[in-house]
Amino acid sequence: MRARLGEEWAIFLLAVQFLTRLPLPRELGWTPARMAATPRWHPAVGALVGALAGAVFWAAGLVWPPAVAALLAVAAGLLATGAFHEDGLADACDGLGGGTARERALEIMRDSRIGTYGAAALTLILAGRILVLASLPVALAPLALVAGHAASRASSVLVLATSRYVRDHGTGKPVSSGVGPRSLAVALACGLAAVLPLALAAPLAAVAGLGGLALGHVLMRSRFERRLGGYTGDCLGAVQQTSEIGFYLGALACL
C-alpha cells in the first residue's frame, strides 16, 4: 500500500509539472508509464490551480472591487499554468478557423505565431472569464474557481479517453494512451469532488455549471473532431477553456 501511494504521488507531481509552472523538485522520477498515467490527476491539479486563483480572488476582494479581484485571480491562474491551455485554445482556433483542409489546419496549429482567430478567441475567453467571475457573488467566486478549473480538466481527460490523437508526436502524445476506465473514473471523481463545495453552498448553480461545462465541451469537441477526425494537444487546451467558461456561465445563470 505504501509503495502504491508513493507511486501515485510521483504521478501526481508529474501531472503538476506537465500542467503548471509551479516550483517542484528537479528529479521527479519521470518514466513513460508514469507520464502516460498523469491524466487521472489532471482535475486534481486543476483544483490546486483553482484554489490558488480563488485565494487571490478572496484576498483581493478584501481591498478592491470584484472586477479587480476577478482580474487578479485570472492573472494568478495564467501565471500558475504558464497560459498552457490558453495557448492551446489560440492555436486550435487559428487552425480550425484558417485551415480549409485537415492537413492545413494541423499545419497552422504547429505555427507558434498567433493569428486573428487565436487573438480573438483569447480576448473573448479572458474578458468573458473576468466579467463572469466579477458578476458572481463574492463568497461563491472562489468555490466556482476551484470547481471550474478541476471539472474543465476532467472534460479534457474525457476527450483523451474517448477520442484519438491525430499526430505522430506533439504535446499531447505522452498522455494520449494512458486513460483507461480506471484512470477516467479517478479523473471524473476528482472533478466532481471539486464541485462539491460549490454544490453545498449553491446546489442549483453547481448543477447549471456542469450543464454549461457539458455544452462547452460538446461545442468545441464537435468542431475539432469533425475537422480533424480526432484531437491534438491544442484541442485539449481548447476544450478545457470552453468547458471552464461554460461552467462559470451556467453557474451565474442560476444565481
pLDDT in tens, 134-193: 999 999 999 999 999 999 999 999 999 999 999 877 666 677 677 999 999 999 999 999
Per-residue buried b or exposed e for 155-167, using 16+ beta carbons within 10 Å of the residue's own CB: bbbbbbbebebbb
**pLDDT tens readout for residues 197-206:** 999 999 999 9
> Which amino acid appears at position 93 of this protein?
C
Q: Is the dihedral of CA 126, 143, 17, 211 positive or negative?
A: negative
> Is residue 52 packed enough to be buried (19+ CB in 10 Å), middle (13-18) or exposed (0-12)?
buried
**Over 80: is that where the pLDDT of 12 sits?**
yes
Name the percent of the chain lying above pLDDT 90.
82
Which of 42-51, 104-113, 185-194, 202-211 comes out lowest in average pLDDT? 104-113
* Alpha helix segments (H runs only) across 111-180: 116-135, 141-162
Residue 2 pLDDT: 79
**Over 70: is that where the pLDDT of 247 sits?**
yes
**pTM > 0.75: yes or no:** yes
**Over 80: is that where the pLDDT of 227 sits?**
yes
* Mean pLDDT taken over the chain: 94
**pLDDT tens readout for residues 50-80:** 999 999 999 999 999 999 999 999 999 999 9
**pLDDT tens readout for residues 82-94:** 999 999 999 999 9
Which of 11-20, 31-40, 43-52, 171-180 comes out lowest in average pLDDT? 171-180
Q: What's the CA gap between 184 and 46, in Å, rounded?
A: 15
Q: Say which residue the cell 494537444 belongs to.
A: 233
**Over 70: is that where the pLDDT of 99 sits?**
no
